[in-house]
Protein backbone atom coordinates (compact mmCIF):
# COMPACT_ATOMS: atom_id res chain seq x y z
CA UNK A 1 0.00 0.00 0.00
CA UNK A 2 2.11 2.82 -1.28
CA UNK A 3 0.30 6.15 -1.38
CA UNK A 4 3.10 8.57 -2.21
CA UNK A 5 4.34 9.45 1.29
CA UNK A 6 5.46 7.12 3.99
CA UNK A 7 3.81 6.76 7.36
CA UNK A 8 6.94 8.12 9.05
CA UNK A 9 6.85 11.30 6.95
CA UNK A 10 3.20 11.85 7.86
CA UNK A 11 3.96 11.44 11.57
CA UNK A 12 6.89 13.86 11.29
CA UNK A 13 4.69 16.43 9.52
CA UNK A 14 1.95 16.21 12.14
CA UNK A 15 4.56 16.50 14.93
CA UNK A 16 6.10 19.58 13.32
CA UNK A 17 2.67 21.19 12.95
CA UNK A 18 1.81 20.39 16.57
CA UNK A 19 5.13 21.87 17.72
CA UNK A 20 4.49 25.05 15.75
CA UNK A 21 1.00 25.37 17.24
CA UNK A 22 2.37 24.90 20.77
CA UNK A 23 5.03 27.57 20.15
CA UNK A 24 2.40 30.07 18.99
CA UNK A 25 0.19 29.29 22.00
CA UNK A 26 3.07 29.73 24.46
CA UNK A 27 4.21 33.02 22.91
CA UNK A 28 0.63 34.35 22.96
CA UNK A 29 0.21 33.39 26.63
CA UNK A 30 3.54 34.88 27.74
CA UNK A 31 3.27 38.29 26.03
CA UNK A 32 1.51 40.93 28.15
CA UNK A 33 -1.79 42.29 26.94
CA UNK A 34 -1.36 45.89 25.87
CA UNK A 35 -4.32 48.05 24.91
CA UNK A 36 -4.46 49.11 21.30
CA UNK A 37 -3.11 52.63 20.72
CA UNK A 38 -5.74 55.32 20.45
CA UNK A 39 -6.61 56.32 16.90
CA UNK A 40 -5.19 59.67 15.82
CA UNK A 41 -7.39 62.64 16.52
CA UNK A 42 -9.12 63.79 13.37
CA UNK A 43 -9.42 67.54 13.33
CA UNK A 44 -12.19 69.22 11.37
CA UNK A 45 -11.01 70.63 8.07
CA UNK A 46 -10.69 74.39 8.01
CA UNK A 47 -11.77 76.50 5.06
CA UNK A 48 -8.31 76.37 3.47
CA UNK A 49 -8.30 72.59 3.41
CA UNK A 50 -11.85 72.52 2.07
CA UNK A 51 -10.84 74.91 -0.72
CA UNK A 52 -7.80 72.76 -1.47
CA UNK A 53 -9.97 69.63 -1.62
CA UNK A 54 -12.39 71.31 -4.03
CA UNK A 55 -9.51 72.46 -6.24
CA UNK A 56 -7.98 68.97 -6.27
CA UNK A 57 -11.36 67.50 -7.24
CA UNK A 58 -11.59 69.98 -10.12
CA UNK A 59 -8.04 69.19 -11.20
CA UNK A 60 -8.68 65.45 -11.19
CA UNK A 61 -10.98 65.83 -14.17
CA UNK A 62 -8.70 68.09 -16.24
CA UNK A 63 -6.54 66.74 -19.03
CA UNK A 64 -4.61 69.90 -19.84
CA UNK A 65 -1.87 71.38 -17.61
CA UNK A 66 -3.15 74.12 -15.31
CA UNK A 67 -0.96 76.32 -13.11
CA UNK A 68 -3.67 76.47 -10.43
CA UNK A 69 -3.75 72.68 -10.31
CA UNK A 70 0.02 72.45 -10.09
CA UNK A 71 -0.05 74.85 -7.14
CA UNK A 72 -2.84 72.85 -5.48
CA UNK A 73 -0.94 69.56 -5.91
CA UNK A 74 2.20 71.21 -4.48
CA UNK A 75 0.23 72.46 -1.47
CA UNK A 76 -1.25 69.00 -1.00
CA UNK A 77 2.24 67.43 -1.09
CA UNK A 78 3.50 69.94 1.49
CA UNK A 79 0.53 69.21 3.72
CA UNK A 80 0.92 65.43 3.29
CA UNK A 81 4.64 65.43 4.07
CA UNK A 82 4.11 68.09 6.79
CA UNK A 83 6.68 70.40 5.30
CA UNK A 84 6.70 73.80 6.93
CA UNK A 85 6.10 77.01 5.03
CA UNK A 86 9.62 78.28 5.66
CA UNK A 87 10.99 76.46 2.61
CA UNK A 88 13.06 78.60 0.23
CA UNK A 89 11.12 80.41 -2.47
CA UNK A 90 12.94 78.52 -5.23
CA UNK A 91 11.48 75.22 -3.99
CA UNK A 92 7.98 76.70 -3.85
CA UNK A 93 8.34 78.07 -7.38
CA UNK A 94 8.51 81.72 -6.31
CA UNK A 95 9.89 84.67 -8.26
CA UNK A 96 13.21 84.77 -6.45
CA UNK A 97 16.42 83.69 -8.14
CA UNK A 98 18.71 81.25 -6.26
CA UNK A 99 21.11 84.09 -5.41
CA UNK A 100 18.30 86.03 -3.71
CA UNK A 101 17.72 88.53 -6.51
CA UNK A 102 14.49 89.05 -8.38
CA UNK A 103 14.21 87.28 -11.71
CA UNK A 104 13.89 89.56 -14.74
pLDDT of residue 1: 45
Q: Summarize pLDDT for 39-70 with one digit per residue, the tens.
A: 766 556 577 778 888 888 888 888 888 888 88
Contact 20, 34 (CB under 8 A): no
Q: Compute the mean pLDDT over every residue in the chain, rounded to the nearest whole number.
A: 76
For residue 56, the Cα-to-chain-centroid distance in whole angstroms is 19
pTM of this structure: 0.35
Whether the per-residue pLDDT at 96 is higher than 60: the answer is: no
Whether the per-residue pLDDT at 12 is higher than 50: the answer is: yes
Amino acid sequence: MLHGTSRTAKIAGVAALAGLMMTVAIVAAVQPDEPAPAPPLVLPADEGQARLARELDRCASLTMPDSGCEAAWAANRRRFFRQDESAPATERGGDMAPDGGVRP
